[in-house]
Amino acid sequence: MEIAKLGEFGLIDRLTKDLENKNESTKYGVGDDCAVLHYPDSEVLITTDLLMEGVHFDLTYIDLKHLGYKSAMVNISDVFAMNGTPRQITVSLALSKRFTVEDMEEFYAGLRLACEKWNVDIVGGDTTSSYTGLAISITCIGEARKEDIVYRNGAKDTDLVCVSGDLGAAYMGLQLLEREKSVYYQQVEEAKKKGDQRALEELAHFSPDFAGKEYLLQRQLQTEARGDIIRKLREAGVRPTAMMDISDGLSSELMHICKQSGVGCRIYEKELPIDYQTAVMAEEMNMNVTTCALNGGEDYELLFTVPIGDLEKIKEMDDVRLIGHITDAKFGHVLVTRDNQEFELKAQGWNPL
């Protein structure tokens, strides 16, 4: 069905009519000029992400359900990165005429799956038309006690530098998808030049072979916010001194923490957590796997620092890796290689501008 036939309010009603609020802080959600929220005893955390077609995502290889899921998760991840609890999101969309009502239902299906996983309420947003493709703006609202909030500027000399999960897989998943996309369009162009209608018909059903690389695709297309790590840290009685989620690459995020905290760091290449599929794919593409892990981005793992006194607790924590330590600023930002050479660590992650 064409979106124009429903109109803005008809579309909003169709996508949100059966939403149920799960948080006490949500007093009123979709249906009026504003949502009504109430936070009597905690600080309010607010984060916004703008995702543009052709810049942040490519609908050639991500379907709308996965896109909805990922769009919500990247915002939810920001709240976890402040050591907070996500509670509500608002969703604004700019849509071109090529999208149908059914397309938006798919997008919302993914969005709602992500929100249901972390008990987040969808409380409003906006829709408008677009002449340049799909634009998505999501704002996530969370809460945290004042004393629990973790900023980027709290890292101190001798603190341990830790990351959750593994690094570089999302980037290698993107490289894999881009490669197959390039191969597909190259074959289409060749078939057009030859006037080979049969080949064009066969290419309409083109399906790349991703066997053995499923994890890389999952990391790129099905982003997960690491609220489970926040829960483990709380249960272990560990409060990070500084924390970020890894959206633009480990090197860039670590530089943010060091700059805002006024410190240096030493990171050890041998300690970087890298999945086997990531290493294999990097070798296949003749890429340096350490560079991919440091600069790839979109892992949405947590990068955080903790006091050295929490060393034993960190060692016992599943899916958390100690990769280095914080130093005095005068010692700079150092990457120690596997053969004990030292290089300056530079911020070389993704820059959307």
Among 153-167, 206-220, 284-298, the range scoring the smallest mean pLDDT is 206-220
What's the confidence (pLDDT) of residue 353?
A: 40
**Alpha-carbon gap, residue 294 to 163, rounded angstroms:** 12
Percentage of the chain lying above the pLDDT 70 cut: 90
Please give the single-letter amino acid code of residue 205.
H
Return the closest-CA partner of residue 68 out of 117, 8, 1: 117
Cα angle, residue 279 at apex, residues 58 and 223 outer, rounded to 5°:
40
Q: How confident is the model at residue 95 (pLDDT cuts 50, 70, 90)?
A: very high
Q: Is the pLDDT of residue 19 over 70?
A: no
Q: Is the pLDDT of residue 329 over 60?
A: yes
Q: Is the pLDDT of residue 11 over 70?
A: no
Q: Is the pLDDT of residue 7 over 70?
A: no
What's the confidence (pLDDT) of residue 10?
A: 62
Take residue 177 and report the two structure tokens written for it.
């998808």
Among 13-17, 73-77, 255-259, 299-303, the range scoring the smallest mean pLDDT is 13-17
- For the residues 91-113, what does the mean pLDDT come to? 94
Q: What is the mean pLDDT of the chain?
A: 90
3-state secondary structure labels for all residues of the chain: CEHHHHHHHHHHHHHHCCCCCCCCCEEECECECCCEECCCCCEEEEEEEEEEECCCECCCCCCHHHHHHHHHHHHHHHHHCCCCEEEEEEEEEEECCCCEHHHHHHHHHHHHHHHHHCCCEEEEEEEEECCCCCEEEEEEEEEECHHHCCCCCCCCCCCEEEEECCCCHHHHHHHHHHHHHHHHHHHHHHHHHHCCHHHHHHHCCCCCCCCCCHHHHHHHHCCCCCHHHHHHHHHHCCCCCEEEECCCCHHHHHHHHHHHHCEEEEEEHHHCCCCHHHHHHHHHCCCCHHHHHHHCCCCCCEEEEECHHHHHHHHCCCCEEEEEEEEEHHHCEEEECCCCCEEECCCCCCCCC
Q: Is the pLDDT of residue 120 over 70?
A: yes
